[in-house]
Amino acid sequence: MLGIILGIILTFGVSSLWQKHQEKKKTKEMLVLVRNELEINKKWFQDMGTAIEEDRYAYQKILESKNNWESLPSDTLDAYFIRIVNIYFSPLYSSAWQIFHNSEMIQNIDNKELVIRLTECYFWIDKIQRYFETEYLEKKKKALVPAIVEHPAQYLDTLMNHNESVVFYTAMAKVNPLQPLFVFVDAIIDYNILLLDKYGDFKYDMGELDKEYEAFIEERRNILPPKNDTTENNN
């Protein structure tokens, strides 16, 4: 009888350990997917940052060349036209994080600081996506006007007579409100990728890392030029 009881206890014990091992394995595999998702989003930030800069440059040149389109080469004019009518937007990815965050796997992480950092990271990712959808792309769409034209110069003439277009292009040409935010969120994504790579076993002391995090973010912010910098390098 004692042997039977011990056998049952051993069976359940081994089964419980195996189940915990499998759960931890699934959690690690899921966090690998989250890490890969962050890498994709990082590339998105780089691509969208480049797109915004190209848009801003086109807006500046359009405003500078107003009523003088003949001074611009036709291929340059075509390029500006393509930039202002391009409304393509590729959404950021968060499916891996949503699956992980809404599952029981999140309970398998011993130290919750990793979850806090990832939650903060995806909060900012979602915030920027909503910004693009509502504050940039929607306004960019409204700045366009329906017109049947045979040449980009004719369309640009129409835009320059449309007050909402001029206001939008002028605002975006003068300031770049996304640059500091892009640098900030890009740094958060990088930090979380490093965190996932370095502490894949989920057991670590976040005390020192919190200091590293602040220094990491601040170092990235320091690459931004001063707001009123008019040096040759900035120009």
- Within-domain flag for 195: yes
- Confidence at residue 21, expressed as pLDDT on a 0 to 100 scale: 58
- Confidence at residue 230, expressed as pLDDT on a 0 to 100 scale: 37
- Confidence at residue 116, expressed as pLDDT on a 0 to 100 scale: 87
- Confidence at residue 231, expressed as pLDDT on a 0 to 100 scale: 37
- Within-domain flag for 118: yes
- Confidence at residue 86, expressed as pLDDT on a 0 to 100 scale: 87
Contacts of 135 (CB under 8 A, 6+ apart): none
Q: What is the pTM of this model?
A: 0.75
What is the number of domains present in the chain? Answer: 1
- Within-domain flag for 226: no
- Within-domain flag for 198: yes
d(CA 147, CA 141): 14
Q: Are 96 and 206 in contact (CB under 8 A)?
A: no
Two tokens at 170? Answer: 């002028």
- Confidence at residue 196, expressed as pLDDT on a 0 to 100 scale: 86
Closest to 185 measured CA to CA, from 226, 125, 101:
125
Low-confidence residues of the chain, pLDDT below 50?
Answer: 228-235
- Domain ranges, residue 59: 2-221
d(CA 14, CA 20): 10
- Within-domain flag for 231: no
- Within-domain flag for 229: no
- Within-domain flag for 234: no
- Confidence at residue 235, expressed as pLDDT on a 0 to 100 scale: 37
- Count Cα atoms within 13 angstroms, Cβ side, for 38: 28
| Phi, psi of 158, rounded to the nearest 5 degrees | -65, -45
- Within-domain flag for 230: no
- Confidence at residue 53, expressed as pLDDT on a 0 to 100 scale: 85
d(CA 195, CA 107): 18
- Confidence at residue 223, expressed as pLDDT on a 0 to 100 scale: 62
pLDDT digits (tens, 9 = 90+) for 70-90: 888 889 989 988 888 888 777
